[in-house]
Structure 1
Amino acid sequence: MAHGRRLSQSFTLSPDSANFIAIATSPPGDVENWLTLWQSSFARDIIDSRIVAVDGQTSVEEACDILLSEDISCLAIKSADNSLSGLFDFSDVNAFLTLAATKHTFSAEAVQEKPRVDDIFTAARSGHVPVSIVSNLSDKNPLHTIPYDATVISLLEVFAKGTHRVLIKSNSLCAGEEDCIGIVSDRRLLSWFLSFAQQSEFESLRLYLSNPLCSFSDSLPSLNLYTSVVATVSTEPVIEAMKLMSEEGVSNIAVLEEEGGMLLSAVSVTDIGRIVVPSQSNQILSLSLQHFISLIKGPDGSTDGQDRYPVYSVLPTSTMLYTMQKILATNAHRVFVTQESTLSSPLLSPMSSGNLTGLVSIVDILSLFARVANVQDIDPTRMQRHRRASSVSSQASSKESDRSRSSSRTGVRRALNTKISQTMSGNHKHASNSSTTASAASTGAGTIGDTNRASKSPQ
């Protein structure tokens, strides 16, 4: 395998599989009965997360600590007048750490073109990076609110465009500090639809979702269920996975075996937040992904006595219903699609279930329900396209960034950039000598400041 290259492989269904897969039919005639219930089901009744708010001047380090200690997916950021001004989650943590680790690649021109990056660098030199300027740095979690009386259809209208969570406004006539009552995530809505389909009176919906994934791809091509997959190999360092997630605007990437390219597991921004941030050393950024995965799966072994990799894959012939169950069971935002396996025990050896060919995400599936509900302007990849275009971690050279994206936009890619790895190893050494912080986030803030001070010093 050649290093320093991103390989692409477009998804194609094998002729043998295509021959026996029927095209999914349109939703059954009683779809109006479903819609009536969806329109009368309130979003506020499926709130799955409380709102934990912090002042905008709270440091990034403190915000990371609160995310971990409160065991929540995001924080709400309060402005000076106590109104909510933004959100902060593990995708932002990953984007911030990646920015810190790749700061040496930014030219002065690139920094000037990105005022927000300049603000972060300036704040880091002062020793305090407020969470307000890192809020939604990833461009993955904009602050989006819906009314108290919003319905499930209202949620579909938001999530079908790629947003992952919304805040529900309070019904109180007195606007105050707490004007939102909770958060609904796209995962919670997917769970609601699964429960809805499993109710006995909706057998037609259950049968519709029992069609194989491939049939949905053919009948609803604009859904793009088999979207491009961002992947790297298990021998790459953790920082490479972080950089890919930040640049490509995704919350997790596939990790492949170097020999054979079989799906091994996946790494997510949540893993970065829960393992990298509390680390006592920057050296964790240099760990191989295979080693890092062993840290991710460690809690499973300590609680149930098993030693295993998370199962993230489904087959092209897997049903939509099974795929929904798999996403929810693995607590993932997406599952990867692999080709058929000849192994007798795919559950015991998921990494050998076949070549990686595509993926299905929560947003893809909710877009399917949005089409059933006749929601307008459905575009599940809109947010991801915006994130890729505005990524703060890939601005050191705009020409290099454009080449990178164009070469890997349509399929599985293996990002093997040894130059970045070598540079980072030197950067880690510098950081470890100049910082005694207890977290990777605080180390990131410190090294951003160090680099900018150095760049302004006489030669």
Structure 2
Amino acid sequence: MSTTQHKLNNHSPIHKKGMSDNLEKIVTSMKNPLQFLQQPISNSTIVLQKVKILDTDISIEEGFSTIINQLSAPVFDKKEGKFIGIIDLKHFLSYILYKLPFPPTGEYVSSSIKEMDLFPFHTLDKKSSILQLLKYFDSGVHRAFILNENKQIEMISQLDILKWFKDNSQEFGELKNKDVLSLDRSYNLHSFSKVHSINQCEPVFKALQDIQKYKIYGMPVVDDKNTIVGNISIHDIKYASENLDRLALPLNMYIKEKPPVTCEKTTTLAELFNIFLNHRIHRVHLVESGKPIGIITITDIISMIYNYTISNSDNKSSSIQM
């Protein structure tokens, strides 16, 4: 084939169409960032988990034993014939602190799950978009409940959605290579406000009291030099579920098998995906010279991706109702 023929072929209608298609894809991608989030949950590879539903007539002890394993559950009232809310470990914190044997440190709580201040009950269905799912998580819940084709409730955890993000990391383009500092400045990933920390010599129940007081899920554990040495979270209650006396232990004994998981301002979004998934954790401590300066949670990541997509979309009024 001659050089002239080769050039003519490059300008053929078919070649022009290919160029036009590629340009259209680029423009569409620019106008609709993270467009892949518009697909329905049913079309994704996100794994849905089975759910145990709690009845309001069971004891708090029974409810607690379920939540220790499942971490969150819908609550059903048989008398009213409807779901009345969602419960997670945080709802049992006052109960645990009150039940401590040396002496009680929490406020009295009713023995009825129904009288707890539950999260509002809400479900999506498998036709809902991933973007709607992100909005669900952006409200602060750690697990989303999905109604399947058989009208049964299934569950998606924050780690489930994060794994899906990682599996589809190519869809994030340059965003996945942004570091923590630029994500914070550009997309409000996390506000580096005061970090609530606790000394490793304090008892575990003191950390739980602070978690309840500050309405958080966890905090860094530090030594006398304010260097981070570990993490304590509300989920760590499970290690004392059969013996509450363990909550009187100093933190450095209670968390000794749990080294701290940290990141720095140079850590990228893609690296954060790996950190969360490899360690099966929900928060990473942002450090500078070993000192905690912030906390990044999976909720922060999901919220950033959701708000980035909405704020950069041409069609900001698109249907994202839950």
TM-score category (smaller protein): 0.7 to 0.9
Distance 1:251 1:72, change over 3 A: same
Number of residue pairs matched by the alignment: 283
List aligned pairs for 1:3-402, cutoff 5 A: 30-32=29-31, 35-42=34-41, 45=44, 46-68=46-68, 71-80=69-78, 81-100=80-99, 120=109, 123=110, 129-134=111-116, 136=118, 141-171=119-149, 179-197=151-169, 199=170, 202=171, 205-220=172-187, 222-257=188-223, 259-272=224-237, 274-279=238-243, 282-294=244-256, 297=257, 309-340=258-289, 354-374=290-310
In structure 2, what is the Cα distance between the partners aligned to 1:278 and 1:103? 17
Deviations 1:337-358 (A, max 9, x none): 1114xxxxxxxxxxxxx11111
CA distance in 2, matches of 1:85, 1:233: 39
What stretches of structure 1 of length at least 5 have no aligned partner?
A: 1-27, 107-116, 124-128, 173-178, 298-308, 341-353, 378-459
TM-score normalized by the length of structure 1: 0.56
Q: Tell me, in whole angstroms, the C-alpha distance in 2 between the residues paired with 1:163 and 1:105.
A: 24
Aligned partner of 2:146: which letter? I
Identity, in percent, stands at: 19
Tell me the CA shift for residue 67 of structure 1.
3.5
Q: How does 1:374-453 map to 2 (within 5 A)?
A: 374=310
User: Partners of 1:312 and 1:62 in 2: how far apart?
Assistant: 32
Letter in 2 for 1:194: K
Distance 2:156 2:165 in 1: 14
* Equivalent residues of 2:51, 2:154 under 8 A apart: yes
Alignment partners' CA distance in 1, 2:83 and 2:185: 42
Provide the secondary structure at the position in 1 that maps to 2:144: strand
In structure 2, distance between residues paired with 1:130 and 1:215: 47
Q: CA deviation at 1:75?
A: 2.7
Any idea what the Cα deviations from partners look like across 1:144-186, whole Å, max 9, x if unmatched? 31234111010122222322222112445xxxxxx44311222
Q: Indicate if the aligned counterparts of 1:98 and 1:246 stay in contact, CA closer than 8 A.
A: no
Look up the SS of the partner of 2:128 in the other structure.
coil
User: What's the TM-score once normalised by structure 2's chain length?
Assistant: 0.78
More relative contact order, 1 or 2 (CA 8 Å, 6+ apart): 1
- Bigger strand share: 2
Kindly report the root-mean-square deviation, in angstroms, between the aligned alpha carbons of the 2 structures: 2.7
Q: For 2:219, what is the secondary structure of its paired residue?
A: strand
Q: Rg: which structure is higher?
A: 2
Answer yes or no: is the 8 Å Cα contact 2:40–2:127 preserved in 1: no
Question: SS where residue 98 of structure 1 aligns?
Answer: helix
Instruction: Check the 8 A contact 2:91/2:116 in 1, yes or no.
Output: yes
1:126-157, CA deviations, whole angstroms, 9 ceiling, x for partnerless residues?
xxx23333463xxxx54331234111010122
